[in-house]
């Protein structure tokens, strides 16, 4: 059985598009800030989530994933509250940033780790744009305080759209072929 080790509804939707049958088991791994390069941080968190769930489901194949947003050298995680979300969004306004989603697939005696990186260009945002979006409640469970699928802040991207949503479908689909599901 394939298991997605994530509570993210977006990851569940994205995985449904490339995998016929899977279950969701939310990882209890606690993310703590570490001094690692962005892709290494996301990879570490994805691996720990996958391994934690796999330890409870040793006969299954488990996918863990983690997404981070990086503006210059600053990692933007999930906002603590509405004001923090506003600050993040205004800091992204009119600039480009990187979105890394790392994943780890473990099972059948194999462990595969990889990541994808997408460059995202934001439009210049007004205070009203930001306030209206924050009022929806959407930013609070998303790295960088936005979901590409539910805001109109993105001018263009270079790379994978599904990566920005939280699961690089193209790479995961290729990796899943290596597991006998």
Q: Which residues are annotated as catalytic?
A: 66
CA distance 87 to 82: 9
**Cα torsion for 129, 134, 138, 143, to the nearest 10°?**
90
CA distance 95 to 100: 17
């Amino acid at each position: 059985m394939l298991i997605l080790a994530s509570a993210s509804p977006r990851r569940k939707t994205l995985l449904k598009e490339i995998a016929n049958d899977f279950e969701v088991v939310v990882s209890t791994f606690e993310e703590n800030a570490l001094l690692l390069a962005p892709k290494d941080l996301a990879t570490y968190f994805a691996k720990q989530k996958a391994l934690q769930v796999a330890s409870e489901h040793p006969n299954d194949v488990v996918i863990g994933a983690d997404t981070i947003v990086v503006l210059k050298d600053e990692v933007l995680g999930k906002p603590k509250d509405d004001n923090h979300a506003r600050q993040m969004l205004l800091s992204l306004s009119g600039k480009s940033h990187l979105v890394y989603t790392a994943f780890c697939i473990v099972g059948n005696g194999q462990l595969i780790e990889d990541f994808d990186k997408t460059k995202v260009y934001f439009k210049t945002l007004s205070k009203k744009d930001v306030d209206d979006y924050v009022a929806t409640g959407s930013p609070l469970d998303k790295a960088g305080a936005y979901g590409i699928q539910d805001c109109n802040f993105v001018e263009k991207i270079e790379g994978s759209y599904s990566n920005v949503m939280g699961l690089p479908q193209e790479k995961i689909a290729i990796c899943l072929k290596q597991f006998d599901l």
